[in-house]
Every structure is written in structure tokens, then in C-alpha cells.
Amino acid sequence: MKLSVNIDHIATIRQARMTNEPDPVYAALMAEMGGADGITVHLRQDRRHIQERDVEILRRVIKSRLNMEMAASMEMVKIALKYKPDMCTLVPEAKDEITTSGGLDVIMFSEKIQEVAGNLLAAGISVSLFIDPGIDNIKTCHRLGIRFVELNTGEYAKHSNSSFAALELEKIKKSATYARKLNFTLLAGHGLTYQNIKPIAAITEIEELNIGHSIIANAAFVGLKEAVARMKELLR
């Protein structure tokens, strides 16, 4: 199973002092040295962590795949078309949220998503939709012509120490099975840690996981290269 490392929180530390360190670009290179198969950054509309400069340089220097998470807006489309990441993952955004709080409502916003995705696909950029597990959500993604979906594991992660986690895990498994029948390339992520990752990693339909906070938190003690390597070992 592949691992894409989200380096947003390296930029969060930098922006806390409005200085030039730590540099997310250097973090990305260290993550690749630890075995990362891809680098994920979320260029938020409020620019609270990752900046356009980061996306520009990352596009030039990393050797793995660059996945840019973004709101489904034409402002973000223009930036994506300028820097050409390998993939754009459309996610919901709210100004007052600490982190992404749920999956994209692909049913309600299907027309807007189709417009944004169409512009990106026409430029040769792959498009993934970050969605909550559910058959109806996957059916909608299929109707929109999207071939990549990322299942939100946030609810599973939040309840991973309770019996409710089993229900969430089963929902993810059913969604993964259905997505595979429709020939989606399936990704997953949000809230995953070294402690709760194994049941998700055991779902064979999932090809790649996006993990950020837990890896960056552990990197504070063992270094980013080692933190990524440890997570990769769990995925094996």
C-alpha cells in the first residue's frame, strides 16, 4: 500500500512565526527519503499554512507525486493550472474549522464539482474527491466521471478506541468493495495514526493512504525520515 505524506503542519509551524523555517520543501524531501510515495499539501483559501511558493517549488523538486488538496473553486483551479500538480483532491473548506471536518457533499454540489473537475482533467491533472464512506456518494462520483476517490476515515479514527469504530470500519469496507466494482482507484485518509492504521491498511481495495498529523507529531521526536519509515513498515 502506498503512502502520501501530508506536510501541512510543517508549514503551520513556520507560519506561527511568519518566518522561513521549517521549510515544507525540505520536509517533503526528507519524507521521500523515508519512503513516501507521494507528497500532499492543502492550499487553503485563507493560506493558513501552505503557500503558493511551496506548491511551485515542490512541483519542481520532489521525485514522487504531488497531490494538491483544494476547495472546489475557480480561484484554486487557476492556481492548479499554473503549477500542474499530479493530482488535485477536492475537499470541503470552512473558515472556522481546525482541520477538514467531513467529506465533500458530492450530491449537493455535483454541478460545481463537475465544472472544476472538468477544467483540471482537460489540463491533464488527475482529480480525486474526498468523500464520506457511502454507496450513494460513490455512485455520484461515478456519474461525474471521476476515477479517484479518497474515503474519509475521520469518524473511524475519532472513535478508534470505542466499539463504534467497528461500525465505521465496516462502512469503509463496504464502500471500498463497491468502489472497486466500479473500477475506482481508491485512497483513504484523515485522522489515521500509528495506533489505528492496521485495520485500514488491511483493506486490500485501498491503494494509498494520506497521513499527515500523526507522522509530523512523531517526527518531532524521531525525525521525519524515521517517522515516515515507521509508518511505511506498518502498511506492509
**The predicted structure's pLDDT at residue 128:** 98
Name the residue ranges covered by the structural domains of the chain: 2-235
Alpha helices by DSSP H, the chain:
8-17, 24-33, 52-61, 74-83, 110-122, 135-143, 154-158, 164-181, 197-201, 213-222, 224-235
**The predicted structure's pLDDT at residue 163:** 81
Does 97 have pLDDT greater than 90? no
pLDDT in tens, 23-58: 999 999 999 999 999 999 999 999 999 999 999 999
Instruction: Give the span between the Cα atoms of 36 and 236, in whole angstroms.
Output: 13
Under the banding of pLDDT at 50, 70 and 90, the label for residue 102 is: confident
Question: Out of 9, 93, 155, 190, which one is annotated catalytic?
Answer: 190
State the fold for domain 2-235.
TIM Barrel (3.20.20)
Under the banding of pLDDT at 50, 70 and 90, the label for residue 96 is: confident
Does 181 have pLDDT greater than 80? yes
pLDDT in tens, 162-175: 788 899 999 999 99
**The predicted structure's pLDDT at residue 182:** 96
pLDDT in tens, 206-223: 999 999 999 999 999 999
Question: Out of 9, 32, 42, 205, which one is annotated catalytic?
Answer: 42
Q: How far from the centroid of its chain's Cα atoms is residue 165's Cα?
A: 21
Catalytic status, residue 75? no
What spatial distance separates the first Cα and last Cα of the chain, rounded to whole Å? 7
Judge whether 72 and 116 are in contact, CB under 8 Å: yes
- The mean pLDDT value for 179-196 works out to 97
**The predicted structure's pLDDT at residue 179:** 97
The string over 196-234, giving b where at least 16 C-beta atoms fall within 10 Å of a residue's C-beta and e elsewhere, is bbebbbebebbebbbbbbbbbebbeeeebbebbbbbbeb
pLDDT in tens, 109-162: 999 999 999 999 999 999 999 999 999 999 999 999 999 999 999 999 998 877
Catalytic status, residue 69? yes
Please give the helix or strand (H or E) that residue 39 lies within, else none: strand 38-42
Under the banding of pLDDT at 50, 70 and 90, the label for residue 236 is: confident
pLDDT in tens, 47-86: 999 999 999 999 999 999 999 999 999 999 999 999 999 9
- The mean pLDDT value for 7-24 works out to 96
Catalytic status, residue 93? no
Query: pTM to 2 decimals?
Result: 0.95
Question: Out of 9, 32, 69, 150, which one is annotated catalytic?
Answer: 69
What is the DSSP code string of 72-95? SSHHHHHHHHHH--SEEEE----T
